[in-house]
Amino acid sequence: MLADLDEERPSASLYLFHPRIISIARRDDDGEVVWDSVETVDRVAVKIQISKQRTVISAINSPRSVKFVDALMSELCQGGRYFFESMEIDEALVKKHVSRFDTARLVSAKVRDFAVYEGAVGRFEVTSKNGLMENIAPLLQGKYYKMDSLTYEVTHKFSSFLVTYMNGGGIKINEDYLDLLLPTFERLL
């Protein structure tokens, strides 16, 4: 792990080197395909932002696995005991965040657990390049549902980009806009 601490604010940037095994195919001398396992290393950028209420750990382009989270927390806590809970991103937090940009319109939503009829729940995705209704779809009005992901088309300071918020704590965005998006999101937490 390599770290860069900011002495003026309670934050740090670091890289975590995370080993993993991948399978590769190669041809042997006879021309037959042979599969091998090879160990490789992922370099993951991690930002730590500390406020009075909480500590936010942001892993940029990290592997989506419990093993990675365990390796990250073990390294940060240096063998101490810890409890980790992924942040759940909800619609209220997303709306608060996208309101910080010049314009934002919902273009895709994945929802689950909405009541279709007695004893049956549904899951669906709705997408429109023209933008979705604020309440996503008429069939959801007045019904309970959970958000899986929301994708917004955002325009800010002459730039347009897509940002996807996933309820399990993940945000997908083009790396070019990371410095604009991540700090504004962390300040809301």
pLDDT at 79 over 60: yes
In this structure, are residues 167 and 147 in contact, taking their beta carbons and an 8 Å threshold? yes
Mean pLDDT of 69-95: 81
Q: pLDDT tens-digit profile of 11-57?
A: 777 888 878 888 999 888 888 999 999 998 888 888 887 777 777 88
Mean pLDDT of 72-87: 78
Q: pLDDT tens-digit profile of 96-144?
A: 999 999 999 999 999 999 888 888 998 999 999 999 988 888 888 888 8
Residue 140 CB: number of other CB atoms within 10 A?
18
User: What is the structure's pLDDT at 1?
Assistant: 46
User: What is the structure's pLDDT at 110?
Assistant: 94
What is the spatial distance between Cα 171 and Cα 22, in angstroms, rounded to a whole number?
25
Contacts for 32 with CB less than 8 Å, ≥ 6 apart:
none
Q: pLDDT tens-digit profile of 1-10?
A: 444 555 566 7
User: What is the structure's pLDDT at 2?
Assistant: 45
pLDDT at 67 over 90: no
User: Domains of the chain: which residue ranges?
Assistant: 2-77, 91-188
pLDDT at 177 over 90: no
